[in-house]
Amino acid sequence: MYILIIVLVLLLIIAFKSIKVVRESEVYIIERLGKFHKVANAGLTVIIPFIDTVRSVVSLKEQTMDIPPQGVITQDNVTIKIDTVVFYQIVDPARAVYEIQSLKKGIEYLAITTIRDIVGKINLDETFSSRDLINNQLRSLLDEATDKWGCRVNRVEIQDINPPEDIRDAMEKQMNAERNKRAAILQAEGEKQAAITIAEGKKESAILEAEAEKEAKIRKAAGEAAAIKAIADAKALEIQKVYDSIKKANPDDKLVQLKSLEALEEIAKGDANKVFIPFEATKALSGLGAMKEVLTDDKKENKK
């Protein structure tokens, strides 16, 4: 009975030792008699007890490593501290176990030396403005260096860059100066644009006023011309009527001259600035002048 219990316990121990359940996203590195035997993937795995052993359990998930802040000297001799995070993933578990003593330590030391090498070639301002470039260079160099360890570096991110206190104060003053400069430039541009807008408005207003005044003068002149023409047409019609009536009456020369003078008198009463006297009317006027002189001489003789 005791022997049966002992055999059952031994069988349970052997089963426990020989049957392994590998979880998802993990692999087992199996060694046989101290030598690499195989990589056990997720699922049920059977090994030989006391001959096969599990050397290491390796995670295939993407892992993160926080690199402690490192003092780095830039090209312009400014010491800054950079905090970095590395995202990596094991793609060859066997090499990750057998090619390096500690994969995490190896990645950390490589990241530190690579950061110092990259940042040492650029100045302080470029470290702030070129984070993406630094991240890409770090990732590329680390991925190339860790390839022999069965590791792939997916991404490197610089979390923080801390310059010394005096450099930080100088940068803040510089940023304030730049901000004030931009504000002054924007204000000057705004005032300039406002002055230009006001000048353009005055110019357009003056042009419109000149156009309006010009249009008013043109319309006034046109109205006066139309009025003069209308008056002239009316007077011409009156003269034509007088002429027609005289022609029908068949008058003698003295009556014609007298009627012409009456017509001229009516024309002279109009609003026109100038009166054009026909040549024939001048003869009548000269005749009247001569008659006036004769009458004047007769009056003088009678008085004597």
Q: What does the pLDDT read at residue 273?
A: 46
pLDDT of residue 291: 46
**Which pTM does this prediction carry?**
0.54
Closest-CA residue to 29 (of 115, 98, 86, 105)? 98
Q: CATH number of the domain at 63-163, please?
A: 3.30.479.30
Looking at residue 212, what is its pLDDT?
Answer: 85
pLDDT confidence of residue 251:
58
- Would you say the C-alpha torsion 269, 273, 278, 284 has a positive or negative sign? positive
DSSP string, 3-64: HHHHHHHHHHHHHHHHEEEEPTTEEEEEEETTEEEEEE-SEEEE--TTTEEEEEEEE-S-EE
| pLDDT at residue 299 in the model | 47
Measure the CA–CA gap between 303 and 273, rounded to whole angstroms: 42
CA 175/CA 160 separation, integer angstroms: 19
Query: For the chain, what are the domain ranges?
Result: 2-59, 63-163, 251-303
Q: What is the pLDDT of residue 295?
A: 42
Write out residues in the chain with pLDDT < 70, as ranges: 1, 242-304
Residue 16's pLDDT is what? 76
